[in-house]
Amino acid sequence: MSPEQASGRPVDGRTDQFAVGLILGEMATGKPLFRRETPAEVLAAVIERDPEPLRQLRPDVPQGLDALVSRCLQKEPARRFAKTDELAAELAALAGRSRHGSPGGVPSSPRAAVSAEILPAPSVPPRPAAPAVYHVQTEPASPEGAAGRSAATTSWSSLTGSAAAS
């Protein structure tokens, strides 16, 4: 839940960007960014505190991903992306650099790879203009880094629509 939603202020599509930042941060670090003892303490932290930068929690997180998540998690919606399409484009550009930065699309360092796809929305009646579906996947760069873990994959839809209360 975004700070504006948790404090009862008006919300818009940038609330979804905060949620995407939380999910990406958790996928990259393997733990919630606002973990506290009680739900009330979690909401208070979301409203009042900034999470630790991803690279402090996990130094091998690409700097671009850290910056993108940090922007998504800004307390003031005006400091996030103006439109979610901008977030998707920056994420796709980051994924392109991570996946294609070395021959064969395999990162040259043992960092986690980042990939992103922007899929066209299905044409399902009665919604003539369905929103795009965003898919983000992180995975270890090598089998040795996997240590038996499977890649974390999350899909989001309706990111460009208005936020619904959770």
Domain count, the chain: 1
CATH code of 60's domain:
1.10.510.10
Q: How many Å apart are CA 38 and CA 41, to the nearest integer?
A: 5
User: Is 98 a domain residue?
Assistant: yes
20 assigned to some structural domain: yes
Residue span of the structural domain in which 41 resides: 3-157
Q: What is the pLDDT along the chain (166 residues), one digit of tens a residue?
A: 999 999 999 999 999 999 999 999 999 999 999 999 999 999 999 999 999 999 999 999 999 999 999 999 999 999 999 998 899 889 888 887 543 343 334 444 444 455 555 555 555 555 555 555 555 555 544 455 444 444 443 333 333 333 443 3
Residue 42 lies in a domain: yes
Residue 146 domain flag: yes
* 34 falls within a domain: yes
**Residue 47 is assigned to a structural domain of this protein:** yes
3-state secondary structure 132-166: CEEEEEEECCCHHHHCCCCCEEEEEECCCCCCCCC
- Structural domain contains residue 86: yes
